[in-house]
Amino acid sequence: MSGLLNFGNPDYKDGPEGNLTDPIPILKKLGVPFTLYENGADIEKDYPCFKNLPANYKAIYSPWNGTINVTLALRTLYELGVNTKNADYIEEEKVVKIQPQGHSRVLVVTEHVGDAGHVTENHYRYGNALWFLLTHADTHSAGKVIVASGAYVNHVTRSLGFEINLQIWEMVFMYFSMKPSFNYPCMWFQFENPDDENQSRLFYGFPAIPGSPPNCARIAVDWAARIIADPVYRRMDVSELEPDMTHRFVAKHCNDVLSQPQFQGTCLMPNVPDNGFVLDFSPESFVGEHHKNIIIFTAGWAFKFIPLFGHILADLALDGSTSYNIRSMCIDRQNVLKPVAAVPDVGSHLPMKGPYFE
């Protein structure tokens, strides 16, 4: 719990991370402690890691925030699943088809990665219907299925006839070397209006924490030059624009950090048009009367909500309902769902090249 410092232009209205001042009434209502800074000089006095902040900048610091060691969290969750003896992990298999089969069964077809040349014909009888499935691996069945495949969610849902209207950011991250005796004490976020060329000036930073490179601060722009419709369109190189924007910010406003990154890379961040989450049963309009046997989760900055969202997903799968109000995350809200023009055959692959969004 190292805290969070939000600072910047108080006149910045709204964006993917909200704005600077709207959290204040909520912090007061919940009794969360926080400190206000009224100008740039006061911010720099308590946070000498920054320099040249405009005089009109304000800041809010709250100690009840922190950072997550993602690698350790994933390893811990994996080990908890193994130790329960109630979970089977199947690696290197891709789900290529999912289909409800009656009141209490969902069929899942998977493909071994790299084994696309080995095709097996399987016969299944459900009631009076005989199904023929050409698969590259195995079939699995369950009473309920939770689809939580992030940016790859549409690779699963296409076989159900629908997609989530994802706009996937190729987010660029960078780590900058700093003096061993110097440290950024907490996570921070800068709110500022776009520049004259309409380029984002939303920047964020993380301190050096366990699991991250030693003596390096993670600093990057909260924006993506490349926005794609499907992960298969992802490029492995780093866009030149974000590193240049971040380099200029670091050189102007960050103390005791080398202005060129030690290393950089990209990660996929799936968004829907309203920047929210999608957590709901699959849509009845596409899946039919047994749509509640399939639960969908995707989109948004969700890792910090894993305990809560995991609880909700378990509620929906085991009980068919949840006491939490999830209406804002419903799958049938405006601009979230879209039909698939043609449902792919089992095992079909998308092209490795494609257009970017304008």
Q: What parts of the chain have a pLDDT lower than 70?
A: 1, 113-137, 341-358
Let me know whether 216 and 280 are in one domain.
no
- The enclosing domain of 309 has a CATH number of 3.50.50.60
Let me know whether 79 and 38 are in one domain.
no
Let me know whether 135 and 8 are in one domain.
no
Let me know whether 261 and 280 are in one domain.
no
Q: Which of 222, 246, 271 is the endpoint of a domain?
A: 271
Q: Which of 94, 233, 247, 244 is nearest to 170 (CA)?
A: 233
Task: Tell me the sheet residues that pair with 142.
Answer: 106
pLDDT value of position 113: 67
351 belongs to a structural domain? no
234 belongs to a structural domain? yes
Let me know whether 172 and 241 are in one domain.
yes
- The enclosing domain of 202 has a CATH number of 3.30.9.10
Tokens 């309409």 correspond to what residue? Answer: 198
Let me know whether 161 and 182 are in one domain.
no
Q: How far apart are the first and last CA of the chain?
A: 40
pLDDT value of position 62: 95
235 belongs to a structural domain? yes
Burial grade of 255 (CB within 10 A; 0-12, 13-18, 19 or more): middle
pLDDT value of position 356: 34
pLDDT value of position 125: 37
pTM, rounded to two decimals: 0.82
Let me know whether 172 and 265 are in one domain.
yes
Let me know whether 56 and 194 are in one domain.
yes
Let me know whether 175 and 50 are in one domain.
yes
346 belongs to a structural domain? no
Answer for the pair 53, 45: CB distance below 8 angstroms, yes or no: no
135 contact partners, CB below 8 Å, separation of at least 6? 96, 109, 110, 111, 119, 120, 122, 346, 347
Which range marks the domain in which residue 135 is found? 72-166+275-339
Let me know whether 88 and 174 are in one domain.
no
pLDDT value of position 344: 44
Number of structural domains the chain divides into: 2
Let me know whether 143 and 31 are in one domain.
no
pLDDT value of position 136: 54
- Measured CA to CA, the distance from residue 88 to residue 107 in angstroms comes to 17
Let me know whether 121 and 159 are in one domain.
yes
145 belongs to a structural domain? yes
pLDDT value of position 342: 54
